[in-house]
Amino acid sequence: MLEIVLAFSMHGIPGDFNEVHPGLRYENTPYMASVYHNSDGKVSAVVGLVGRSGPWFGEIGLATGYEYPIVPMGRAGIETDNMRFFVFPAVTKTDVGIGVGVEFRITAFGGN
């Protein structure tokens, strides 16, 4: 399924982060791919794997558009019909923390 999404995040570490993340997301479980406006104010592309158990989900993958050309990414949370609430590792060269976010599914094409 292809989705147009809009996420909002808080990073839990010091820094001036972009907290609004419009994007496109494709999922064909267990695979996913996404393009979005990231926390550094750049465009990121992600490929990864998704696991699901009822409303709970977890994602791991590789992302572009951060301090290094390719970085690991991950998030986990709970999903409703049109929203995902999630936590993620917030990491910079000097700080490590836990971020939180919410992602709204604006519209979806194909699948359920």
User: What are the structural domains, with CATH classification, of the chain?
Assistant: 2-109 (2.40.128)
Residue bearing tokens 């990864």 = 48
* Collapsed DSSP state (helix, strand, coil) of residue 79: strand
Confidence of residue 37 (pLDDT cuts 50, 70, 90): very high
Asked if the model's pLDDT at residue 112 lies above 60, the reply is no
Confidence of residue 16 (pLDDT cuts 50, 70, 90): very high
pTM of the complete model: 0.92
Mean pLDDT of 39-57: 97
Confidence of residue 78 (pLDDT cuts 50, 70, 90): very high
